[in-house]
Amino acid sequence: MIMTRRPTHPGRVLKYDVLEPMNITVTAAAKMLRVSRKTVSELINERIALSPDMAVRISIATNTTPEGWMNMQTKLDLWLASQKSMKVDQFPKAG
């Protein structure tokens, strides 16, 4: 199944659905997550992908599941890969 719309980056969800509504600054979020301010900034500005480690940290901080956060990243990664022109041959049909 090919998605036509670009999936939402998990950093965008963190920024607009968690941090902004709760008035949590990047600095405060970094302290809560025990990561650098740069890491949080790069994530919410969609410059880096969500790592499994960060998914676990965010899930603990937000009382959600790391799988939910990683699913967002996986959907985005697959969409980005599908946008590339890949020349591959199909496997022959069995039997």
Residue among 47, 45, 8 nearest 29 (CA): 45
Please list the alpha-helical segments (H only) found in 14-85.
Answer: 26-33, 37-44, 52-62, 66-82
Reported pTM: 0.89
State the pLDDT at residue 51.
98
Q: What are the chain's domains?
A: 10-77 (1.10.260.40)
Residue 18 is given by DSSP the state I
Summarize pLDDT for 79-93 with one digit per residue, the tens: 999 998 888 899 999
pLDDT computed for residue 86 by the predictor: 83
pLDDT band at 94 (very low <50, low <70, confident <90, very high): confident
For 50-74, write each residue's pLDDT tens digit: 999 999 999 999 999 999 999 999 9
Q: What is the pLDDT of residues 2-51, one digit of tens each?
A: 668 999 999 999 999 999 999 999 999 999 999 999 999 999 999 999 99
